[in-house]
Structure formats: C-alpha cells, structure tokens
Amino acid sequence: MRPASPHEDAIGEAVEGLDFGSIEGEFRAQDRFVFVPRFLPPELVASMIVEARQFDARDVYRANVPLLRKAGAVGQAQIAERAPALRALYHSPSFLGFASRLAGTPLSLRHPDDAHAVSLYYYQRPGDFMAFHYDDCGCDSEASFTATFGLVHDTKARVQVQLFKREPARPMKELFVEMVPGSLLFFCGTRVYHRVTPLGKDEERITYSFSYVRGNRPSRGWRRLRENVSDAIFYFGPRALFQKNYG
C-alpha cells in the first residue's frame, strides 16, 4: 500500500472547511454543477504551480484543431511521475470522499494508464481556446464526474457554462467562471455544456483537471476506442491511440 501523501492533511483541512450543505444545494440546483472560488490553500496551490511549470515545451503536447481546440496538455503518466502534490489531490481519500458525497454515489479513480484521467491544461498563446463540449470521458451517461482546479489565471478568458442545455422544459442558465488560483469546478460531465473562451495577447492560463467514474463503470469497448482517438487528436498526440487502458 502506498504511504499517505504529505499533502493529505492540507487537502483534508480544505475539505473540512467547506460548507457542504450550501455547496450540495447549489450543486443540485445547478444540474450537478458547482463552482467553489476558494478551495485549496495558497501554500498547496503554490506547490502545484511549481510542479506545473516544470513541464516545458518538450513535455507539453500542443494541439491545434480549427474551431475545436488550441492549447497544450500533459497527461496522467507524467503527472504521476513528476508532480507529487498534483497526484496527491487526485488520489486524496478526503477529496474522493467529498466528491462521492456530492455526487450522491461512490466514485472511483480511472485507469492508471488513461492519460486523460488526470491532466494539466496550458493556455499560453493568443487565441488558445476550447470549444463547447461535454465531458463524457468515454463513459455511460452521468457516469463521469470532472474536477478542475485553477492554478495560473493571468487572463480574461473564462469557462463559459451552459446549464440545463438538455432540458428543453427549463430555461438555459449561462455562467462565465473565472478559474482563479485555488478555485474548484465540480460537475457531472454529461450534464454540463462548457467551453474555454479565447486567450488574449500576453495572457496565460493553467488548470489541473481530473475525473472520477461512478461505481465500477469505466469506459470499455468502442467507447474506450473513441476516447483514445479523441485524446490523440485533441490532447496528447498519436501515442494516445496505444494507451493500455482497457482493463
């Protein structure tokens, strides 16, 4: 068994400091979406920023797919090997317990060889963006939950969120979220339609994102293949086609 992370106490204190009742109420009212502007303590955020900045142009795969995505990414294997504070947050029993409680169902880690399970996203060039999409992560509907944390936010870019997009009986609710350092987005991937607005000149944005899966419902078969093709095109390059993540 891997020993407890030295960062677990700080993560646990951050979780315990939340007003869970208020967050849960907002999560339910907003179709399983919530934004917490201050979650991680500054000291832990600072460590994570140092880890994120250690990855240089040789490590960050940049994708430029017209109308869909222009940005860089680092996947799970590199983060697990070189970024212990970032890895600790994904594997944190305290945060996983919080996420499961909020989701209303037991959640679990994704496959350790799934590059997209844990990612750093780098928006560092003018016009970097991500088009509107859902985060199904190759899973069944409502089986995948996404957590995204703000690290570097020297930009006017925002996460543009459209809630109730798939419920014609309800008016759509639109939000523009500023991912300041230490902030948290948590949502059900197939319920929340979202994008990242374009980066301006001399701006920078780095976020850390990972996903948990409901119960024992990982992506398999054609869904897994489709997700690996998507990873290869939009995030990590051709090597993502050969991920050993079908178990």
Token pair for 34 = 């919530």
Strands 173-177 and 107-109: unpaired
pLDDT band at 218 (very low <50, low <70, confident <90, very high): low
Beta bridge partners of 229: none
pLDDT at res. 166: 87
Whole-number percent of the chain with pLDDT over 90: 77
pLDDT band at 1 (very low <50, low <70, confident <90, very high): very low
Which pLDDT tens digit goes with each residue over 182-201? 999 999 999 999 999 999 99
Cα separations in angstroms, 130 against 4, 66, 166, 179, 219: 35, 10, 20, 14, 23
Whole-number percent of the chain with pLDDT over 70: 91
Average pLDDT across the chain, whole number: 91
> What is the residue type of 64?
N
Beta bridge partners of 214: 107
Which pLDDT tens digit goes with each residue over 222-244? 566 667 677 787 788 878 777 77
Model confidence at 152: pLDDT above 80: yes
Model confidence at 160: pLDDT above 50: yes
The mean pLDDT of 177-185, rounded to a whole number, is 98
Cα separations in angstroms, 101 against 23, 87, 155, 156, 165: 11, 21, 33, 33, 25
Model confidence at 246: pLDDT above 90: no
Q: CATH class for domain 8-237?
A: mainly beta
Per residue, the 3-state secondary structure of the chain, as one string, reads CCCCCCCHHHHHHHHHCCCHHHHHHHHHHCCCEEEECCCCCHHHHHHHHHHHHCCCCCCCEEEEECCCEEEEEECHHHHHHHCHHHHHHHHCHHHHHHHHHHHCCCEEECCCCCHHHEEEEEECCCCCEEEEECCCCCCCCCCEEEEEEEEEEECCCCEEEEECCCCCCCCCEEEEECCCCCCEEEEECCCCEEEECCCCCCCEEEEEEEEEEECCCCCCHHHHHHHHHHHHHHHHCHHHHHCCCCC
Q: Tell me the pTM.
A: 0.93
Contact 92, 44 (CB under 8 A): no
Domain spans, the chain: 8-237
Question: Measured between alpha carbons, how far is 124 from 121 in angstroms, rounded to an integer?
Answer: 10
The mean pLDDT of 3-12, rounded to a whole number, is 89
pLDDT at res. 224: 63
Nearby residues of 19 by Cβ (< 8 Å), 6 or more positions away: none
Contact 196, 40 (CB under 8 A): no
pLDDT band at 168 (very low <50, low <70, confident <90, very high): confident
Token pair for 12 = 């646990």
Question: Measured between alpha carbons, how far is 140 from 148 in angstroms, rounded to an integer?
Answer: 20
The mean pLDDT of 27-37, rounded to a whole number, is 97
